[in-house]
Amino acid sequence: MVNYSFINKSVIKRTTIIEGIVETQSPLRIGGGRESFDPASIARDSILKDAEGKPVIPGSSWKGIFRSTGERILRLRNMVVCSGIGKDYCLNNNEMEREFERGLRGNMDEALRVFWDYTCLNCKVFGTMSVIGAVRFLDSLPISYSLNTRSMIAISRSEGAVAKKALVTVEYVEMGSKFSFKMIGYNLPNYAIGYLVTIMKNIHDGFTQVGGHKSRGFGFVRFGKVKFTDVGEKKIGDEDIAIKDMSGLEEEDGNKFFEKMKPFMEVFNSAKIPYPKK
């Protein structure tokens, strides 16, 4: 019988927390949209700020960054994965959405079976239509920061060319600013923890950028002073691989943290993940 602890949220058998500091290595811009326009600022393209006017990286942005980076990583491993955007999600792609919904209404065991068999690792970790994910991202709040503005040439999204009134003043967070970071996972197998740490390392190493204006060199960040806390069972599911308890690991430098977390990344690279069904 398959152990569904990874996707079953009714009982929490394991809580995993990775928290630390994110430091910007280049300008950073998380756009706030027109509703966040600040009449006191010269910038016509403002960053997202909290109620106190401080820059913030929303947890929803982290979730999107992790999911899209993870999609690229899984595809490089030739694993089946959906984007989670629009109608590109596993239950829809496998034509199992109605069967899953029938299970939710009358037979939870059947719903768990369908979700387990016909969804990818991204759906299980980050969630999908009607299903909450196994990991939460808190908003990243500023520890120290400075803001600046820069005039840039605006590009028309529809035409792909320089837009009319092409000069726009963009607000951004300066390089060297620091933000908090916290991610909480529930019932994560060791290979799923290794997957998340692999995504973090991709961000840390500069393979993934955060926020907008990536083509202009914005959005490079690194992790520092990272702490790993792991409470509960140390192996989730029959397909998981046991490793030594590493709860309480804390490193001032991100490079050292990822070096110490290699056992989790190795489990991710070697685990035989039995889903989704082909």
Write down the domain spans for the chain.
13-77+133-268
Cα angle for residues 273, 233, 121 (degrees, 5° grid)? 25
Q: What would the mean pLDDT of 191-197 be, rounded to a whole number?
A: 98
> Model confidence over 37-95: pLDDT tens digits?
454 444 456 899 999 999 999 999 999 999 999 999 999 999 999 999 999 999 999 99
Task: Give me the residues paired with residue 185 across strands.
Answer: 16, 135
Mean pLDDT value of segment 224-251: 96
Q: Measured on CA atoms in the order 11, 130, 234, 254, is the torsion positive or negative?
A: negative
Give the lowest-confidence range in 67-71, 164-168, 184-188, 192-196.
Answer: 164-168
- pLDDT for residue 35: 46
Residue 118, pLDDT score = 97
Calpha distance 134→89 (Å, rounded): 16
Q: Are 96 and 114 in contact (CB under 8 A)?
A: yes
24/215 Cα distance (integer angstroms): 16
| Percent of the chain's residues with pLDDT above 70 | 90
pLDDT for the residue numbered 151: 82
Tell me the pLDDT of the chain averaged across its residues.
90
pLDDT digit string (tens) for 111-159? Answer: 999 999 999 999 999 999 889 999 999 999 999 999 999 887 665 555 5
Nearest to 26 by CA among 225, 237, 209, 171: 209
Beta bridge partner(s), residue 269: none
For 257, phi then psi, to 5°, come to -60, -50
More confident residue, 170 or 42: 170
The three-class DSSP label of residue 151 is strand
Task: Tell me the whole-structure pTM to 2 decimals.
Answer: 0.91
